[in-house]
Amino acid sequence: METFNLEPLLSDTSISVALYENVTNASKLKTLIKDGEIHAALIKAEMVLDVFQVLVASSKAFYAKTQNKLKTKLIYTEILFNLSPSNKISECFKLFGVEDEATCVLVVARKEDFSEVDKHVEGDICPLSKLDNLCDKQYLKKLYKVTDEELKVCSLTDCVVSQMAAKEIR
């Protein structure tokens, strides 16, 4: 688990991000979130190349909340929405939300909420550096429509984050 401050826009906001493997209760975690008992985003680990992707999505989500401009109902669903290349809210849940039987889960929560979330996760916490090995790079390349020409001048992570940042103007 690592904690990040969302500076410079949100210097008073810190989030904790943790990667869990061998998760046995993803369905229960989703229910706890829906019931408002825990506050977090549960993300399919195979859909994230690097924690930077999550930091960009989180910064956009928390900033939108300060401006009363969330496109979804909750800050944590906004993170999923911001990760997605699509402007369709239902599609972001299918692409980035964990399934009931998920065993690799990336958890994002406010720093002050993380310990409560962590108590409920039945799985092994892992270093975030493992994301690179878990993600499906070919699928993400296709999903974000990254070309081989783009990859000659920047990394796949940079291409994905650029697509995420530009989706509002497409």
- CA dist 73 and 109 (Å) reads 16
The total number of structural domains in the chain stands at 1
Residue 130 domain flag: yes
Asked whether residue 148 is assigned to any structural domain, the reply reads no
Q: Which residues, 6 or more positions from 80, have their beta carbon under 8 angstroms from its beta carbon?
A: 41, 43, 57, 72, 92, 93, 96, 97
Q: What is the pLDDT of residues 51-106, one digit of tens each?
A: 999 999 999 999 999 989 999 989 999 999 999 988 889 888 999 999 999 999 99
123: in domain: yes
pTM: 0.91
Is the model's pLDDT at 131 over the cut of 70?
yes
Domain that holds residue 36: 2-135
The vertex-162 CA angle with 108 and 104, nearest 5°, equals 30
Whether residue 152 lies inside any domain: the answer is no
CATH number of 35's domain: 3.30.2380.10
